[in-house]
């Protein structure tokens, strides 16, 4: 089940809201835990047992850490948690990848497991590990109530694709959080905004990428290839940031405050800045649990470069069991090291538009690596982008350009803080009544258009399902 499905919007969400607000405060975490398991079981009826196992495991490991705190046995719970969680992630996500690699290199014929990937395992595995690590470090208290801990692990608003909510950021909210009409209203607005991003922008611009990526590279023009990868860049941004908006909005509706996950990354002037704005929860997770423990930037430039390389190799690998994701991570690791050594100094001296051009070219090239699992197809697409196709432009490419130009213009504006700034100016000038009316019209309008699209449209992918 996904947030952009009619089943979720018209059945699941109303049901959980009614039950959640009908029960007393002490029963709300239990309601969230039960409904979150049902939410997950809708798409993964077998693997819900895996999630329950992870919940019980890390809850027990947290108790072990607390029981032996201050003794030599304190690390036992931490080691068990890390080893088992990473072991499960490796088994389900990477076993076939390594078997395929071994077969390809050594000419063996080891049979692959062909296990379906548990939905969201990359996300909730990192969350459960963060609990044990936070308790071990003393950054958060041990959770005594296993139901409350289960609600944290399985919390359906951010279960499938984040944001990755670290335990220390939500620990107090599990035990005590506030509910209000204002908070619920803000959450509903945020949810509907994210729904509009996904359904009206990501899905529609994604149709262009779907058409172009399905076309043989030998039949593409340079303009067509660039249109395609720009469409993919907008699709993945509005798809993923729209999911985060809906997750954060739903969290508010249930009394939680999740940290932001996107901050207009396409306005960045460097790759360093881009990755401080894109999937921020993943970046901070790797920073706090990998980069800093390795030494961060405290032990000299050579070790800092090593630490960046390790983090980005793991970041690429985290995204998928395929060599293109590893290459994508290596690509960004090299760019970030170059920025650390000299590029950032150069970018500070050049006009800002040069930085914008640099970041967009870099990101678009990165998206080619990300989008194509097949190296051959990816390389062929890259060659077309730089003049290796059937020509610069043809009638098909011009038709696609003219047809999608208005939507691309909307995507450009929506990927910047322009509308937010205009809204803030309006807020300062208008009265509460006008703002309430405007917000109501916005919510109702976006809701109606989104539901209408879902009823009539058939193209509704979710790119981060595979992670």
Active site residues: 319
HSE-CB for 47 with a 13 A CA cutoff: 17
For residue 139, what is the DSSP state?
S
> In whole angstroms, what is the distance from residue 102 CA to residue 330 CA?
21
Query: Kindly report the CA angle at 250 between 236 and 140, in degrees rounded to 5?
Result: 95
Tokens of 53: 């196992």
Residues 6+ apart with CB under 8 A from 367: 229, 232, 233, 236
Cα separation, 253 vs 261, whole angstroms: 18
CB atoms within 10 A of CB 306: 15
Task: Retrieve residue 297's tokens.
Answer: 């930037």
Q: Is the dihedral of CA 185, 191, 194, 195 positive or negative?
A: negative
Report residue 143 CA to chain centroid gap. Answer: 26
Which residues does 99 contact at the CB level (< 8 Å), separation at least 6?
Answer: 110, 111, 112, 113
Q: Which residues of 40-60 are buried (b: 16+ CB within 10 A; e: fewer)?
A: bebebeebbebbeebbebbbe
């Amino acid at each position: 089940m996904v947030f952009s499905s009619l089943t979720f919007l018209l059945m699941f969400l109303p049901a959980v809201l009614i039950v959640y607000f009908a029960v007393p405060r002490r029963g709300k975490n239990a309601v969230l835990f039960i409904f979150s398991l049902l939410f997950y079981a809708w798409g993964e009826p077998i693997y819900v047992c895996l999630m329950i196992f992870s919940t019980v495991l890390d809850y027990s490991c947290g108790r072990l850490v607390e029981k032996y705190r201050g003794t030599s046995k304190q690390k036992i719970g931490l080691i068990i948690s890390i080893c088992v969680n990473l072991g499960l992630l490796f088994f389900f996500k990477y076993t076939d990848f390594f078997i395929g690699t071994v077969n390809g290199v050594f000419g063996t014929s080891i049979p692959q497991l062909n296990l379906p990937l548990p939905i969201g395992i990359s996300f909730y595995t990192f969350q459960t590990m963060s609990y044990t690590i936070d308790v071990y470090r003393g950054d958060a208290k041990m959770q005594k109530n296993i139901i409350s801990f289960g609600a944290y692990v399985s919390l359906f608003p951010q279960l499938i694709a984040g944001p990755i909510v670290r335990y220390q950021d939500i620990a107090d909210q599990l035990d005590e959080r506030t509910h209000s009409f204002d908070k619920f209203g803000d959450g509903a607005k945020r949810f509907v905004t994210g729904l509009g991003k996904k359904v009206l922008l990501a899905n529609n611009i994604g149709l262009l990428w779907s058409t172009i990526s399905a076309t043989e590279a030998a039949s593409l023009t340079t303009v067509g290839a660039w249109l395609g990868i720009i469409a993919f860049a907008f699709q993945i941004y509005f798809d993923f940031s729209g999911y985060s908006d809906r997750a954060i909005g739903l969290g508010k509706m249930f009394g939680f405050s999740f940290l932001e996950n996107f901050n207009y990354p396409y306005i960045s002037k460097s790759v360093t800045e881009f990755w401080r704005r894109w999937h921020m929860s993943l970046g901070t997770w790797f920073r706090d649990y990998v980069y800093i423990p390795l030494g961060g930037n405290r032990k000299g430039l050579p070790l800092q470069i090593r630490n960046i390389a390790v983090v980005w190799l793991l970041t690429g690998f985290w995204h998928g069991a395929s060599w293109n994701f590893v290459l994508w991570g290596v690509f960004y690791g090299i760019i970030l090291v170059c920025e650390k050594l000299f590029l950032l100094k150069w970018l500070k001296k050049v006009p800002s538009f040069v930085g914008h051009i640099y970041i967009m070219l870099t990101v678009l090239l990165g998206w080619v690596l990300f989008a194509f699992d097949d190296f051959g197809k990816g390389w062929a697409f890259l060659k077309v982008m730089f003049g290796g196709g059937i020509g610069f432009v043809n009638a098909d490419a011009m038709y696609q350009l003219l047809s999608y130009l208005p939507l691309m213009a909307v995507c450009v504006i929506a990927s910047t803080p322009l509308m937010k700034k205009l809204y803030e100016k309006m807020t300062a000038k208008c009265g509460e009544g006008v703002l309430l009316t405007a917000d109501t019209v916005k919510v109702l309008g976006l809701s109606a258009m989104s539901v209408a699209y879902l009823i009539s449209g058939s193209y509704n992918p979710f790119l981060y399902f595979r992670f």
